[in-house]
């Protein structure tokens, strides 16, 4: 009996975790280009699909400038594109260090994702 109850609890937590990303505030994610800063040819193969960028946004959190600069590594490769956020059309840059800049009209946001790791950026 105990095993059935604990199994149901674990299953319930798993289903809840899976559903968390589905309620994303980010919609219509489109990657339009990728590139790297001068001198960073080592990461020239860094690229994300629109689906991977959407997964990043689903797991990212808004950061303060201090968090952005102190808690994340800046890597010089990036992807750029558009996304709908808080009912606004926005432009984004996702950096290979699991950070992003988001510009929505006159508002700017800094985002980061502790759980995200990108291939081609290490």
pLDDT in tens, 29-51: 999 999 999 988 888 889 999 99
Contact status, residue 37 vs residue 76, Cβ threshold 8 Å: yes
Which has more pLDDT, 3 or 38?
38
Q: How confident is the model at residue 7 (pLDDT cuts 50, 70, 90)?
A: very low
Angle at 53 between CA 23 and CA 87, to 5 degrees: 50
Q: What pLDDT sits at residue 9?
A: 32
**Which one is predicted more confidently, 118 or 20?**
118
Instruction: List pLDDT tens digits, range 14-25.
Output: 333 333 334 468
- pLDDT tens profile 63-109: 999 999 999 998 999 999 999 987 889 999 999 999 999 999 999 99
pTM (2 d.p.): 0.76
Between residues 1 and 94, the one the model is more confident about? 94
């Amino acid at each position: 009996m105990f095993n059935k109850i604990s199994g149901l609890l674990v299953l319930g937590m798993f289903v809840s975790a899976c559903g968390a990303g589905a309620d994303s505030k980010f919609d219509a994610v489109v990657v339009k280009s990728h590139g790297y800063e001068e001198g960073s040819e080592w990461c020239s193969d860094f690229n994300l699909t629109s689906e991977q960028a959407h997964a990043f946004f689903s797991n990212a959190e808004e950061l303060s400038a201090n968090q952005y600069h102190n808690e994340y590594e800046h890597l010089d490769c990036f992807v750029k594109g558009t996304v709908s956020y808080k009912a606004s059309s926005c432009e984004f840059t996702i950096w290979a260090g699991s950070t992003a800049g988001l510009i929505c009209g006159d508002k700017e946001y800094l985002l980061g994702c502790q759980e995200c790791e990108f291939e081609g950026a290490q």
